[in-house]
Amino acid sequence: MSRSRSLSEKQINRMFKYFVEATIKIIEEEGIQNVTARKVGDVAGFNGSALYRYFDELSHLVFFGCIKFIQAYFLDVQDYISKGNNSVEKYLLSWECFCEHSFKQPDIYHAFYVADLGKDPHEMLKKYFSHYQTDLIGIPEDILPSLLDPSLTNRSKAILQKAVNEGLLKSDFVEEINEINVLIWKGMLTTFINNRSIYTEEEAVERAMHHIRMTTLTFGGK
């Protein structure tokens, strides 16, 4: 019985990776908007409908595929944060790193942090890392929990709270600052993706960071 279950788990793990890696290949070669069930099936060597035995929706597969592309941000953010002299600077530097990476690959970051998945992304991440444990190697343990949190609100708030505890920011507006900064990023990214702005990638990062700094220092200033 246990051997049969073990083989079944191995098969599920193998199929999960076939489809995720096929999705990654399509994203790399054709772009995230060209991921379809049929293409994923063709690349993986299976009928496209077979992927729905392992994934509830195609958006879930895209979400998993995006993780490979945002790992560069996971690894870079610690270097950015280390340049800060206090928690406020570290908070702003973490946003700067995030903006630079996200505006370089806006569709990837939108799919991972913004798009409707119809399911709790926290549970989906647990599922992903149950199949890809080695993807955690190289990510510092002290920032791992926040980086693996697909909620921008939670990720952003952690460092802000440290600044309050250190007496660098007022506690009154932490929730508002956090929410406004997340909305600034989402709005800028959506506008950028939809070609509704005149900004280049670098200008979009600069404008987003300008607003995030203004919000943080104006409302949270001591």
High-pLDDT (> 70) share of the chain, %: 87
Helices (H), the chain: 2-30, 37-44, 58-82, 87-104, 106-113, 121-131, 144-147, 152-165, 174-193, 201-220
Which of 4-8, 89-93, 157-161 shows the lowest mean pLDDT across its residues? Answer: 4-8
Predicted confidence at residue 23, as pLDDT, reads 96
pLDDT of residue 11 exceeding 80: yes
**What is the residue-averaged pLDDT of the chain?**
86
The 10s digit of each residue's pLDDT in 86-116 is 989 999 999 999 999 999 999 999 999 998 8
Contact yes or no for 107/32 (Cβ under 8 A)? yes
DSSP SS3 for 59 = helix
What torsion, rounded to 10 degrees, do the Cα atoms 31, 149, 128, 36 define? -30
CA separation for the pair 10, 161 (Å, rounded) = 42
**Confidence at 141, pLDDT banded by 50, 70, 90:** low
The pLDDT tens digits of the residues spanning 16-54 come to 999 999 999 999 999 999 999 999 999 999 988 889 989
CB under 8 Å, gap of 24 or more: what pairs does 7-15 form?
Answer: 12/54, 13/131, 15/50, 15/53, 15/54
* Of 72-76, 145-149, 195-199, the least confident: 145-149
Residue closest to 109 by CA, chosen among 155, 167, 170: 155
pLDDT confidence of 144, banded at 50, 70, 90? low
DSSP letter assigned to residue 72: H
Calpha distance 151→149 (Å, rounded): 5
Q: Quick one: 62 exposed, middle or buried, by C-beta within 10 A (0-12, 13-18, 19+)?
A: buried
CA separation for the pair 179, 207 (Å, rounded)? 17
- On the question of pLDDT at 6 being above 50, the answer is no
Judge whether residue 156 has pLDDT over 80: no
Q: What is the pTM of this model?
A: 0.86
- Residue 168: pLDDT above 90? no
Residue 184 pLDDT exceeds 60:
yes
What's the pLDDT score for residue 3? 41
Q: Is the pLDDT score of 9 beyond 90?
A: no
Let me know: does 98 contact 77? Beta carbons within 8 Å.
yes
CA distance linking residue 183 with residue 181, whole number of Å: 5
Q: What is the pLDDT of residues 113-137, one digit of tens each?
A: 998 888 888 888 888 878 876 655 5
